[in-house]
């Protein structure tokens, strides 16, 4: 059983009272604030056999990074970034399979200069990038102009992070492997778009995330194989408190 540490007793747990069930409007220093449907969690079309996530009740938020929940088998700490990442990945995969629109047009194009090797890499991946929701064009002086992005990114993107993402998606090791590339690309887009640690969530947002995580096909791992949650069984907790 995992040992419970009290080294960081000051992190605090946000209690799950209904008074806090409104929509978050504070920024917390993130690229965009949360608002209605802020988690970009919609219906998950095509999900016919969701994973067997137990029925969980939200207790609160730990260190603005983990959702504390309880179920019939004990306590579950849910990594909010990993959980959101899994939800967004399956949402994009389902949309692509259904040939549903996944792009969001930008009001103002995002532009930045490219190194010569980046120009060549983007040209090689242009059709693949467009397939997953990007609309982009290489202008004079090796300037990349992006006019649309996958819709899950719309609230999280800035020029620097978008440049980093494009560079990763067009890295040489992914040339010539379209299926593997798409899996890698969607996983990285989901990772960029997902909320991060140290981000306050309201009770209603936490409940929504747990509900939608339960509708995914693989609720216990993120896109990169990390666990979305850690389980502390009742028997393990009883041992920690000397009850067994």
Distance CA 188, CA 207 (A): 25
Higher pLDDT, 228 or 37: 228
In terms of Cα–Cα distance, which of 64, 88, 42 is closest to 188?
Answer: 88
Q: How confident is the model at residue 17 (pLDDT cuts 50, 70, 90)?
A: very low
Q: Answer whether 129's CB lies under 8 Å from 121's CB.
A: no
What per-residue confidence (pLDDT) applies to 33?
30
Tell me the per-residue pLDDT of 172-224, one tens digit each, with 9 for 90 and over. 765 555 568 898 999 999 999 999 999 999 999 999 999 999 999 999 999 98
Q: Which residue is listed with tokens 């389902």? A: 94
Rg (CA), the chain: 20
DSSP at 139? -
The listed range with the strongest mean pLDDT (3-7, 28-32, 61-65) is 61-65
Higher pLDDT, 154 or 98: 98
Say if residue 154's pLDDT is above 90: no
Looking at domain 102-193, its CATH class is alpha beta
Q: Which residue is listed with tokens 């890499």? A: 121
- Say which CATH architecture domain 9-95+196-240 belongs to: 2-Layer Sandwich (3.30)
Burial status of residue 44 (CB atoms within 10 A of its CB: 0-12, 13-18, 19 or more): middle
Distance CA 105, CA 49 (A): 32
- Percent of the chain's residues with pLDDT above 70: 76
Taking all residues of the chain, what is their mean pLDDT, rounded to a whole number? 81
Q: How confident is the model at residue 51 (pLDDT cuts 50, 70, 90)?
A: low
In terms of Cα–Cα distance, which of 112, 67, 97 is closest to 212?
Answer: 67
**Sequence spans of domains, the chain:** 9-95+196-240, 102-193
Q: How confident is the model at residue 157 (pLDDT cuts 50, 70, 90)?
A: confident
């Amino acid at each position: 059983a995992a040992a419970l540490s009290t080294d960081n007793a000051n992190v605090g747990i946000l209690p799950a009272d209904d008074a806090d069930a409104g929509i978050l409007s504070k920024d917390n220093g993130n690229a965009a604030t949360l608002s209605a449907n802020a988690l970009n969690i919609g219906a998950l079309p095509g999900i016919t056999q969701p994973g067997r996530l137990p029925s969980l009740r939200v207790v609160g938020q730990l260190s603005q990074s983990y959702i504390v929940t309880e179920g019939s088998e004990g306590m579950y700490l849910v990594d909010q970034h990993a959980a959101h990442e899994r939800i967004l990945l399956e949402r994009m995969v389902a949309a692509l399979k259904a040939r549903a629109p996944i792009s969001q047009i930008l009001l103002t194009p995002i532009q930045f200069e490219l190194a010569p090797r980046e120009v060549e890499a983007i040209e090689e991946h242009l059709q693949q990038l467009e397939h997953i929701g990007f609309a982009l064009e290489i202008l004079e002086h090796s300037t990349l102009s992006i006019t649309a992005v996958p819709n899950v990114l719309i609230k999280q993107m800035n020029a620097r992070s978008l440049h980093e993402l494009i560079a990763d998606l067009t890295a040489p090791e992914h040339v010539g492997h379209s299926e593997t590339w798409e899996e890698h690309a969607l996983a990285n887009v989901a990772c960029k778009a997902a909320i991060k640690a140290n981000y306050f969530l309201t009770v209603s947002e936490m409940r929504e995330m747990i509900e939608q995580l339960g509708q995914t096909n693989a609720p216990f791992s993120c896109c990169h194989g990390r666990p979305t949650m850690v389980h502390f069984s009742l028997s393990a907790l009883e041992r920690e408190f000397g009850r067994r």
